[in-house]
Amino acid sequence: MKVKELASVTCFHCGDVCNEDHRIHAGKDFCCQGCQVVYDLLNEAGLCDYYTLEAEPGIKRKENADEQRSELFGLGEVRDRLVEFSEDGITRVRFHVPQMHCSSCIWLLENLARIDNAIIRSRVSFADKELIVTFREEKLSLAALVQLLRKVGYGPQLTNEAGKRSGAGVPRMLHVRLGVAGFVFGNTMMLSFPEYLGADNEAGLKEGFQWLIVLLSFPVVFFLSTDFFRSAWAGIRSRTVNIDQPIALGIVALWTRSLHDVLTGAGPGYFDSLAGLLFFLLIGRWYQAYTYRALRFDRALEDFLPLVVLRKRGVEEQPVQVADLVPGDRIVVRDQELVPVDAVLRSGTGHIDNSFITGEPLPVRRNVGDTIKAGGRQRGSAIELEVLHSFADSRLKKLWAEQGSAHERPVMPRLIDGVARRFTIAVLLISVCAGLYWWGRDAAQVWPVVTAVLIVACPCALALSMPFAYGHTMRLMGQRGLFLRDAEVVERMAHVDAVVFDKTGTLTAREAHEVDRSGISLSAQECSWVRSLARNSTHPLSVVLFHELKGDVLEVSDVVDVPGRGVQGVVDGVPVRLGSALFCEGPEAPCASGHAQVHVWIDGHHRGRYDIRKHARAGILQAVERLGAKARVALLTGDRQVDPELASAFSRADVRTSCSPVDKTRAIVGYQQQGHRVLMVGDGLNDAGALAQSDVGITVTETSAALTPASDAILDATAIARLPHFLHMARQARRIVIASLCISLCYNITGVSLAVAGYMTPLIAAILMPLSSVSVVGFVTLAVTLTARSGRRN
Amino acid sequence: MTERFQYDNRIVKNFLFITILWGVVGMLVGLIAALQLVVPELNFSQWTTFGRIRPLHTNAVIFAFVGNAIFAGAYYSLQRLLKTRMFSDVLGRIHFWGWQAIIVAAAITLPLGMTQGKEYAELEWPIDIAIALIWVVFGINMIGTILKRRERHLYVAIWFYIATWVTVAMLHIVNSISIPVSLGKSYSWYAGVQDALVQWWYGHNAVAFFLTTPFLGLMYYFLPKAANRPVYSYRLSIIHFWSLIFIYIWAGPHHLLYSALPDWAQSLGVVFSVMLIAPSWGGMLNGLLTLRGAWDRVREDPVLKFFVVAVTCYGMATLEGPLLSIKSINAIAHFTDWIVAHVHIGGIGWNGFMVFGMTYWLVPRLFGTKLHSVKLANVHFWLGTLGIIFYAIPLYFAGFFQSLMWKQFTPDGYLVYKNFLDTLLEIKYAYWLRALGGSIYLIGVFVMVYNVYRTVKAGRLIANEDAEAEALEKVKVTGGHWHTWIERRPIQMLVLSLVAVAIGGILEMVPTFLVKSNVPTIASVHPYTPLELQGRDIYVREGCYTCHSQMVRPFRSETERYGEYAKAGEFVYDHPFQWGSKRTGPDLLRVGGKYPHSWHYYHMLDPTTMSPGSLMPAYPHLFENALDTSTTAGKIQAMITLGVPYAADFPARANADLAEQGEAVAEGLRKDGIDALADREIIALIAYLQRVGTDIKGEAKTTTAMR
Amino acid sequence: MSVIFLLLTVSTLVAGVFLVGFIWAVRQGQYDDDRSPAVRILNDNLPSVNESPLR
């Protein structure tokens, strides 16, 4: 098992690189037991097409922060939320399965019936990431069904919006509008052909066409344009100028002028331009809506919490709603479960992993009598707690409740509105002047000229450049691991000149650890003993050791997991222990923050300890360097001190240790008062306040599940090194918008001057309009893509 | 709620087998036609001259071969896509037998010379009506199936079927409107230019909606099924469908470039044709990309091979089509064999290979067994591909070079090839090669027939295939937007405006349409005499338009060769128009008065006597058959109804007039020492040929050729 | 060219029919999910649990 060759082998099921746990089964490589099991399952069900539709489509089974216990699904309350109906033993449920991502997923999930014949049929709604299963409940319980899904890697999520219909999709109305626009545009153009080619009006053809065109223009104004009118009107009412006002103005002018022309027989009007205008505008709108579709931000805190807990009354334990807990209740929290409310430990030893709140992955030990804050996750054996506060006023709830106000950001004037204001005013001025000028020379020309100005000035391209530039940037960022809430965030990012990091879990990877072996010296054989034993414990530290140490995995007999102290087992007939100093009969050693110790005891002797230190994420240091060049960089951390290598990176930046959430928020306000636009990179909930306060709040997550409502964006932990590039992209996007505005302005100027001079003909308008729109869109898309590419190199 | 039901495979099998049968027949006829072009002797009888065989071929391959294939594929995929049995087995059977009856009727009437003389719409009015009825039956069966479906989503293929049904119905009805004279004879309602426009609006869309959209539907179903992977991008396929639908309708006029059609209408055709490249290629790429990562499978699976070549041919044809519709290219390619090659890339490449792939995929499934021999299927594949190459390449060359020869001038401004026949003989070799290619292709088909036969023998028909699916409960329209009246009103507005558009259009149309006065006529253009009219009907009956155009385009090379170029006003009494689309022989618009009666007499008796080496068949029967004058009155009457200005009492006098003129022609022949009977068909034909395009000579000559 | 009106009317009518069809489709939510239908056609959901398509 050479590490080199291993690196090249990827799992047949999930495509991950196979590491030490690599196994070859049925002539295929698998990275872990889980994947192999799934393969066998599918194989015997004759579902191996799963692997032919897409390469390595599988999903690795890892215990997911927000996967609920399957028993939960047996509960009345939860059941009601999922079950769509249930008659004589046949039940249909609707799950939220965010893991589905490719054709293979759909195919497998729609073929569940082949795996278990209690399942009658299963259907997927890919857009909503939803799975609807119909099954015979007497043969297969809901819980068992969930188990099955979990087993094949599609464990459903118990979200509150399960059952909520496609919130994220593009609104259907928009599709309808788009279709109608295309239809009207095409036909209008077609009917205008005799006009373009100056055909003679034989058989009253041109007139006939003319009236058809007029008829076609009605839906354009009364159906396609309604949104623009609405938002324009809203603007007027709130006495603000927005981009939709000149557009609305243009549409109205275009239509009335054209109608006037046709009715007075003055000419064919500009109906084709009108239709084209709306068509392109709507494409812009569609693109915008489409890019947001990828994201689902509206996630409730409940997703992270067990909705039900086991309440202990006397001897019998029964599950109850978290909300129903009252102070004084006794609750039982088992391995891997969250503590839903602040509570006091009554029995058992707590190994509380606060990563959910602070991002600290390493569990802290809690003894009977200690208070455990809500949101902590128990690792190890079950504990019994006494509820202090009801869920309503638990700290977690409070923290989250504060997020309500999170979206109110310090106002930042949107570039486009600024432009729009000046633009609108300018247009109005020009048309007035033009009107006056012609008044003097030839009164008959006033009306045509004024309307012509309004028409060609209609900022179609202007309106398109924004959604396309930002929308496209947003999409490309998404592909690279940064998911924005909406396109406006791009603009805010463009203004950022100060970046604040929250250390815990943000800069330090959860997986990447540094194991300091100085405190210990073991033979290769002993090393493999330790590794083998570590493999038998779910304790994070054991996991770390298992990954860090080398050596082959041996059979371990009579393993004893002593909760909160360590694990013991016999390898090659030799008893081995891993755990606390006490447990391994060794001396307590002073332990710095962010450090943890694992003592080793072999055959009755304390053999020393491993010092385990969290490590900065790959590339973070360089990233910080590059950020420093463009913006002010700061580091706020709840810890007492900073790991040296991080400190070196932030040498020039200001570092504040042991900050409380409130301190962090204050700090942000401080920067903002100094006139900085602050981008905050944090995680967990305890810096939510700061995230909300900052101009742009980014949450770093390892599983896309752990979003906080406070943040504008989610950054995939592995992509954090690209942060400088993302900022670059945002800045570029803004420049591109400005550039494209200039382009469209050129068009408008040409058009307006032609109009003022009274040379504007329907044909010119018909050409100018789409030309400007298309060229602007093309330019923007191209430029943004190129910018994103440039990032590849650095 | 889960229901068990059965798919009806028998109807699919029937359509599939009949497809193969007609395919063989149609291609065989095609091969004969191809050989007749090089060996005139093969036009042995009056019922088998090229002019009658060629329509038989086109009708057989389009409506019998491709048509039945569409039904086979649709009946198979519809049931599975909608998770239900077809709406009605009875309707299915009516549809099947009705359609076959129509084809048989066509196979009988066309050789008998019963034709409306409009390409791809030759069948006479009773058959047209039958077609409409059976088409409706198919429609009911399809819509019914859609209504009782168990799958809410309508897969894109189904949309293609629906589009096909709606559009073909419309095209067929509009184009076939005609006024019957007898059971076997009718006149197109439209005249000249208008007839031409309608005909090619139909002709092009027939290609679009009979040979393309239904097969795209089949592609979107059978290609993913055969590859066992979803189509590359479903979203793209949806866009593909809607854009194609909204563009196709208007591409028709590109068949009439440089014709007497108004410029703007021609340009309209060009623009929309060029626009068509986008959706067409979208579809092609979508099809090919579906196989990404599965090319290894393509190597061993003949079904996929056929599909890949088919889709590629679709891509080539849909790229070539728009190019051909660009005026400058069209000026070269039109009327030549280039077009023939183009349509066959589509026909035997796209349609043929899709059908073959479909057959190899379906037969084993219908008969619950394996394909008898994959090796033979591969043989068929290679034969077919070879056939396409041998067929197309020579014709491309031939068409191109013949066109150049037509346009070639000597330095001192004379045509290099004064005699049209010389240019034809130059490309005779290509006709041989084409026939060779055709036969190779046909051999391939025979291989398939054997392979299918053995496969069927090996298995048993699964007439009713068990299936089960969940019943579809009533849908409540979701999507909040729809419930606010503000949103709803525009839709009503929209629908209303559309209705208004329609009504407006009709109101515009009806008066202008009925009043003939608005057709710009040239003063000197007069209605045909009864004899000429009868002669013209013979011209139509013999399918002269399949080789001779009547449309001199405004190029120097053509005005030089044939005479004054065609004017729209000349054709106002032509029901139907006979512009033609292919010149295997010279244009005949200005043939009137060009030669003496005797020349035509001898030429029709044996073309080689007048033009040695001629490939035109002889028409001895015209000299034996007496002209049927019983119909004259009726025909004149019909013409009057169509607005041709004959005197009201003329029908009664018509035959007298006819006899008189016939005598005159016969007299003229006697002067040249030919003792001809005045009551023979040849007399009428000569009378017509001497009349064609002569009216305009009354006008002041204005030869303003373009080149 | 009065015939153009005939063609135009007919074509527009048909186009209108298609447009209505389009609106119906979108309204029905036919296009809400533009991924799974393509996969769904691969199952002929025959009752027999493991039918293996012959290749």
**Which of B103, B128, B237 has its CA nearest to residue B178?**
B128
The whole-angstrom separation of Cα A18 and Cα A7 is 7
Cβ pair A699, A706 in contact under 8 A: yes
Give the other-Cβ count within 10 Å of A432's Cβ: 12
Q: What are phi and psi of A116, to 5 degrees?
A: -135, 120
Q: Do A176 and C27 touch (CB under 8 A)?
A: yes
Mapped onto helix, strand or coil, the DSSP state of residue A509 is strand
State both tokens at B33.
């036609």
For B616-631, what is the mean pLDDT?
Answer: 91
Q: Do A171 and B493 touch (CB under 8 A)?
A: no
State both tokens at B30.
């095609």
Report CA Rg, chain C.
Answer: 20
CA B350 to chain A, closest CA, distance in angstroms equals: 26
**ipTM value for the complex:** 0.74
Residues 291-310 of B with CB under 8 A from C: 301
Q: Do C33 and A127 touch (CB under 8 A)?
A: yes
CA A605 to chain B, closest CA, distance in angstroms equals: 58
pLDDT given at position B479: 42
What residue type is B80 in one-letter code? R
Does the pLDDT at position B511 exceed 80? no
Q: What are the angstrom distances between the C-alpha of B62 and each of A106, A646, B19?
A: 39, 76, 11
Q: Do A223 and B494 touch (CB under 8 A)?
A: yes
Residue in chain A closest to C25 (alpha carbons) equals A176
pLDDT given at position B690: 92
Q: Do C36 and A175 touch (CB under 8 A)?
A: no
**Which of A51, A50, A60 has its CA nearest to residue A150?**
A60
Q: Do B513 and C2 touch (CB under 8 A)?
A: yes
Give the confidence band of B488 by pLDDT, cuts at 50, 70, 90.
Answer: very low
More confident residue, B452 or A58: B452
Does the pLDDT at position B336 exceed 70? yes
Q: Do B469 and C45 touch (CB under 8 A)?
A: yes
Q: Do B487 and A208 touch (CB under 8 A)?
A: no
The owner of tokens 């007048």 is B610
Pairing of strands A713-716, A696-701: parallel
Q: Do C43 and A110 touch (CB under 8 A)?
A: yes
Mapped onto helix, strand or coil, the DSSP state of residue B303 is helix
Q: Which residues pair with B133 in a beta bridge?
A: none
More confident residue, B663 or A124: B663
Cβ pair B95, B179 in contact under 8 A: no
The whole-angstrom separation of Cα C31 and Cα B153 is 8
pLDDT given at position B617: 92
Ramachandran class of B413: left when φ > 0, alpha when ψ lies in -120 to 50, beta otherwise: left
Q: Tell me which chain C residues have a C-beta less than 8 angstroms from the C-beta of B499.
A: 16
Q: Which of A47, A49, A52 to mutate to test the interface with B (most CBs of B within 10 A)?
A: A52
pLDDT given at position B33: 94
Percent of chain B with pLDDT over 70: 89
CA C35 to chain B, closest CA, distance in angstroms equals: 6
Q: Taking all residues of chain B, what is their mean pLDDT, rounded to a whole number?
A: 86
Does the pLDDT at position B282 exceed 50? yes
Q: Tell me which chain C residues have a C-beta less than 8 angstroms from the C-beta of B509.
A: 2, 5-6, 8-9
How distant is the alpha carbon of residue A229 from its chain centre?
A: 32
pLDDT given at position B512: 44
Residues 188-207 of A with CB under 8 A from B: 190, 193-194, 196-197, 199, 202-204
Give the other-Cβ count within 10 Å of A78's Cβ: 20
Chain C residues within 8 angstroms (CB to CB) of chain A = 1-2, 4-5, 8, 12, 15, 19, 22-23, 26-27, 29, 31-36, 38-40, 42-43, 45, 49-50, 52
The whole-angstrom separation of Cα B27 and Cα B442 is 7
Q: What are the angstrom distances between the C-alpha of B381 and each of B357, B366, B451?
A: 9, 22, 12
Does the pLDDT at position B491 exceed 70? no
CA B627 to chain A, closest CA, distance in angstroms equals: 40
**Which DSSP string do the residues of A117-140 spell out, in sequence order?**
TTEEEEEEETTTTEEEEEEETTTS
State both tokens at B143.
């819509």
Give the confidence band of B259 by pLDDT, cuts at 50, 70, 90.
Answer: low
Q: Do A55 and B505 touch (CB under 8 A)?
A: no
Which residues have C-beta within 8 Å of that of residue C46, sequence separation ≥ 6? B465, B466, B467, B468
Tell me if chain B has a CB within 8 Å of the CB of C37. Answer: yes
CA A486 to chain B, closest CA, distance in angstroms equals: 22
Q: Tell me which chain C residues have a C-beta less than 8 angstroms from the C-beta of A180.
A: 19, 23
Report CA Rg, chain A.
Answer: 32
Mapped onto helix, strand or coil, the DSSP state of residue A19 is coil
Q: How many CA atoms lie within 13 A of A389 on its CB side?
A: 16
Cβ pair A145, A93 in contact under 8 A: yes
Percent of chain B with pLDDT over 90: 50
**Which of B666, B700, B668 has its CA nearest to residue B681?**
B666
Tell me if chain C has a CB within 8 Å of the CB of B101. Answer: no
CB pairs under 8 A between A and C: 73
B138-159 confidence digits (pLDDT tens): 999 999 999 888 888 889 999 9
pLDDT given at position B255: 64
Q: Tell me which chain B residues have a C-beta less than 8 angstroms from the C-beta of C46.
A: 465-468
Which residues of chain A are modeled with pLDDT < 50?
Answer: 1-7, 63-68, 160-168, 294-306, 400-411, 703-707, 793-794
CB pairs under 8 A between A and B: 87
Pairing of strands A119-125, A130-136: antiparallel
Which residues have C-beta within 8 Å of that of residue B117, sequence separation ≥ 6? B188, B540, B543, B545, B576, B578
Three-state SS across B33-54?
A: HHHHCCCHHHCCCCCCCHHHHH
Residue B500, Cβ density class (10 Å: 0-12 exposed, 13-18 middle, ≥19 buried): middle
What residue type is B107 in one-letter code? A
CA A214 to chain C, closest CA, distance in angstroms equals: 14
Which residues have C-beta within 8 Å of that of residue A108, sequence separation ≥ 6? A42, A47, A50, A152, A154
Tell me if chain C has a CB within 8 Å of the CB of B642. Answer: no
Q: What are the angstrom distances between the C-alpha of A664 and each of A634, A671, A693?
A: 11, 11, 10
Three-state SS across A725-784?
A: HHHHHHHHHHHHHHHHHHHHHHHHHHHHHHHHHCCCCHHHHHHHHHHHHHHHHHHHHHHH
This prediction has a pTM of 0.76
pLDDT given at position B20: 96
**Which of B547, B659, B676, B537 has its CA nearest to residue B602?**
B676
Q: How many CA atoms lie within 13 A of B665 on its CB side?
A: 31
Q: What are the angstrom distances between the C-alpha of B400 and each of A526, B333, B454?
A: 85, 7, 44
Q: Which of B264, B268, B508 sits opposite A208 (nearest CB)?
A: B508
DSSP state, residue A270: S
The whole-angstrom separation of Cα B338 and Cα B399 is 4
Which residues have C-beta within 8 Å of that of residue A100, sequence separation ≥ 6? A106, A109, A124, A126, A129, A131, A154
Q: Which residues pair with B123 in a beta bridge?
A: none
pLDDT given at position A684: 54
Cβ pair A77, A314 in contact under 8 A: no
Tell me if chain C has a CB within 8 Å of the CB of B319. Answer: no
Does the pLDDT at position B688 exceed 90? yes
Q: Do C44 and B467 touch (CB under 8 A)?
A: yes
For B57-65, what is the mean pLDDT?
Answer: 94
Report CA dihedral (A388, A392, A395, A401) to the nearest 10 degrees. Answer: 180
Tell me if chain B has a CB within 8 Å of the CB of A48. Answer: no
The whole-angstrom separation of Cα B71 and Cα B18 is 11
Q: Tell me which chain A residues have a C-beta less than 8 angstroms from the C-beta of C8.
A: 208, 212
Residue in chain C closest to A204 (alpha carbons) equals C2
Tell me if chain A has a CB within 8 Å of the CB of B289. Answer: no
Q: Which of C12, C23, C42 sits opposite A107 (nearest CB)?
A: C42
Which residues have C-beta within 8 Å of that of residue A335, sequence separation ≥ 6? A378, A379, A380, A381, A382, A538
State both tokens at B645.
């200005």
Q: Do A110 and C40 touch (CB under 8 A)?
A: yes
Q: Which residues pair with A311 in a beta bridge?
A: A318, A331
Which residues have C-beta within 8 Å of that of residue B324, sequence separation ≥ 6? B254, B330, B333, B334, B338, B339, B342
State both tokens at B256.
């009439």
Ramachandran class of B113: left when φ > 0, alpha when ψ lies in -120 to 50, beta otherwise: left
Longest dimension (CA), chain B: 89
Q: What are the angstrom distances between the C-alpha of A456 and each of A185, A446, A778, B17, B27?
A: 18, 16, 20, 62, 59
More confident residue, A449 or B4: B4
Cβ pair B376, B450 in contact under 8 A: yes
DSSP state, residue A319: E
Q: Which of A196, A204, A215 sits opposite B497 (nearest CB)?
A: A215
What residue type is B481 in one-letter code? H
Q: Do C3 and B225 touch (CB under 8 A)?
A: no
Least confident interval from A344-358, B71-85, B301-315: A344-358
The whole-angstrom separation of Cα B289 and Cα B232 is 6
Does the pLDDT at position B612 exceed 80? yes
The whole-angstrom separation of Cα B335 and Cα B546 is 10
Q: Tell me which chain B residues have a C-beta less than 8 angstroms from the C-beta of C18.
A: 163, 166, 242, 245-246
Does the pLDDT at position B489 exceed 80? no
CA C27 to chain B, closest CA, distance in angstroms equals: 7
Q: Tell me which chain C residues have a C-beta less than 8 angstroms from the C-beta of A289.
A: none
Q: Tell me which chain A residues have a C-beta less than 8 angstroms from the C-beta of C35.
A: 103, 106, 126-127
Cβ pair B468, B2 in contact under 8 A: yes
